[in-house]
Structure 1
Amino acid sequence: MADIVDIAVNTEGFSTLVAAVKAANLVETLKTPGPFTVFAPNDAAFAKLPPGTVQTLVGNPPQLARILTYHVVAGKLTKADLSKVDSVDSVEGSPIAINCHGDTFEVKNANAIAADIEADNGIIHVIDNVILMG
């Protein structure tokens, strides 16, 4: 198997996320043993942001890191684990609302479009929106 970063690098549709993780200096953190649960926005999710947002964030690594760590939870939480809670605390420090219904679940304002992708140091859930704090 591979770690969270290696899976993102080698999976089509995560080039923006990978570039953002690199720009925010989070690669080494996400390569540690963790475990982590990552709500990973795909390229289409980043494309929904207003024009210029990604470039602005890449130019502001501290803010970018804060937004990215809002997508990460300490521990390995599967879809089944998430179905038992209303929220989880992000590594950034803020709670993230979880809403499970049937076979799908929502993470704040995003739908999970793929769940339970196993990594050596955690688990990845692909989401269709970038989740923003506040």
Structure 2
Amino acid sequence: MPFVNRLKTATLAAAVAIGATGFAGKPAMADHHGSHGQAESNIVQTAMGTGVHETLVTAVKAADLVDTLSGPGPFTVFAPTDTAFAKLPDGTVASLVMPANKDQLTDILTYHVIAGNVSSADLAALVRRHGGSASIETLAGEELSARLSGDTIVITDGAGRSTAVTQADVRTSNGTIHVTDGVFLPG
């Protein structure tokens, strides 16, 4: 299915409530709100301003996803930090951002995005409703598994790698960002 069609048809049942801030973690991003609590920056602008998501921003540009992730959404993005990307084997990022690997890069990046504005409270409620672990469909058409470890949301990718949300609920004008300490890879 073409990416645009997946983007239009992707849904997430858990995206029923918006709000609730929350989970413990060292701040990697600040909320970008105006005087009325309204987020001013979109997902891409927010990531560009953190100083810890330069690799992610470079990858989003290489995959031509800037316009999509700057669009109305709403989207929820699990945003790996530069340190998270650095944990990948040497040369992985350099290879992925090459034009010949654009499709693979797009699949990996959209594996970090879910449709809707999904807060940490939404994720936690979904996990609880499903007995401690819940599947989440991504815009790549693949699933992630979410669970709680204390107050921390832990996401397991298709390769079986667990990644923690280190900062949840960074609100943007077109969705929510959850900062992660790892990169998701499909199985």
Question: What TM-score comes out, normalization by structure 1 length?
Answer: 0.98
Tell me how far apart the structure 2 counterparts of residues 77 and 43 of structure 1 sit (CA, whole Å): 23
Matched-pair contact (CA < 8 Å) for 1:82–1:100: no
Say if 2:54 is the partner of 1:6: no
The alignment of Structure 1 onto Structure 2 pairs a total of residues equal to 134
Alignment of 1:76-87 (within 5 A): 76-85=117-126, 86-87=134-135
Tell me how far apart the structure 1 counterparts of residues 84 and 103 of structure 2 sit (CA, whole Å): 21
State the secondary structure of the residue aligned to 1:107: strand
For 2:145, the aligned partner's letter is A
Tell me how far apart the structure 2 counterparts of residues 51 and 44 of structure 1 sit (CA, whole Å): 13
Tell me how far apart the structure 2 counterparts of residues 128 and 120 of structure 1 sit (CA, whole Å): 23
For 2:107, the aligned partner's letter is R
Tell me how far apart the structure 1 counterparts of residues 69 and 148 of structure 2 sit (CA, whole Å): 26
Tell me how far apart the structure 2 counterparts of residues 36 and 87 of structure 1 sit (CA, whole Å): 17
Matched-pair contact (CA < 8 Å) for 1:70–1:91: yes
Query: Deviation of residue 103 (structure 1)?
Result: 1.6
Structure with greater Cα Rg: 2
CA deviation profile, 1:25-74 (whole Å, cap 9, x unmatched): 00000011100000000000000000000011111111000000000000
Say if 2:111 is the partner of 1:66: no
Q: Please point out which of 75, 85, 88 is paired with 1:36.
A: 75
Say if 2:177 is the partner of 1:121: no
For 2:117, the aligned partner's letter is K
Tell me how far apart the structure 2 counterparts of residues 93 and 5 of structure 1 sit (CA, whole Å): 21
Query: Deviation of residue 115 (structure 1)?
Result: 0.3
Tell me how far apart the structure 2 counterparts of residues 87 and 67 of structure 1 sit (CA, whole Å): 17
4+ residue stretches of structure 1 with deviation over 6 A? Answer: none
For 1:73, the aligned partner's letter is I
Unaligned runs of 5+ in 2: 1-39, 127-133, 157-161
Tell me how far apart the structure 2 counterparts of residues 128 and 45 of structure 1 sit (CA, whole Å): 5
Tell me how far apart the structure 2 counterparts of residues 4 and 21 of structure 1 sit (CA, whole Å): 11
Unaligned runs of 5+ in 1: none
